Structure 1
């Protein structure tokens, strides 16, 4: 039986060989660096080619009301809407707002979770970018405390 390290090493070698043969399409590596450098929610959504975001009850954002450790804040985003192209998780007051971008197809349930670093209390957004270019969002305030004291 292979160790985890051996399996990862073999996977990396196979990926490298495939990349060198050109079997990966350009789309495999395509993403918008502008979106990852954007400072605001609106700029991020615009960089991804969507219209101005509008609030929706069909999008759900999850996270703690108070995060005692801003280094690892659990966040989640989900929607059951059809025609979702991407789901984003953004932290408004982070230096770069975009925390995570998930590409969605009809074969994927749009329900994602991750952990984010937050330096201060902020609104957190879940944005669903639809196939028709509309952007729908939900937001939640997450307070970050220092040393477990209220902020």
Structure 2
């Protein structure tokens, strides 16, 4: 068993035990997976937290509206056609906390995710995909007519 797998098993076991004992909530346990990324205040820090600067790749696609009427609920999806995709991260460049969502893709699973994001203003939405230990990305500009982050 490699060390990365062992670390994941230890961490997930410990978090599962804390949830079972009622010492922390399930949301708190899940947030620990990429806490630094979700706490990042700048886009550069959020990208660094998910693994560094990605390369653009046409095998990664992002599905977001050109114009979102309400920034509080913007439907966004990302798909990776790259083999061995293990993670998909969605970032909103101009949000106060750019990292909006992180998904960990189990082996043998289709690499496609859908969610709704909050967007405070018109911005680029970036999907960063980790496949075979390398990072790739796709970008889509979405214009927001009514802000969702406190607007």
TM-score bracket for the superposition, by shorter chain length: 0.7 to 0.9
Structure 2: gaps of 5 or more residues: 1-15, 22-28
1:119 partner SS: coil
Structure 1: gaps of 5 or more residues: 1-14, 21-27
Report the counterpart of residue 84 of structure 2 in structure 1.
83
TM-score (norm 2): 0.73
Are 2:83 and 2:132, in contact at CA under 8 Å, matched by a contact in 1? no
Report the counterpart of residue 116 of structure 1 in structure 2.
117
- The RMSD of aligned alpha carbons is 2.5
Report the counterpart of residue 25 of structure 2 in structure 1.
none
How do residues 22-101 of structure 1 correspond to structure 2 at under 5 angstroms?
A: 30-48=32-50, 50-101=51-102
Are 1:45 and 1:135, in contact at CA under 8 Å, matched by a contact in 2? no
Residues 1:66 and 1:82: Cα distance change in structure 2 (over 3 Å): same
Are 1:42 and 1:53, in contact at CA under 8 Å, matched by a contact in 2? no
Report the counterpart of residue 128 of structure 1 in structure 2.
129
Distance 1:101 1:68 in 2: 24
Q: Deviations over 1:10-56 (max 9, x none)?
A: xxxxx889723xxxxxxx755121011123444223223x2321111
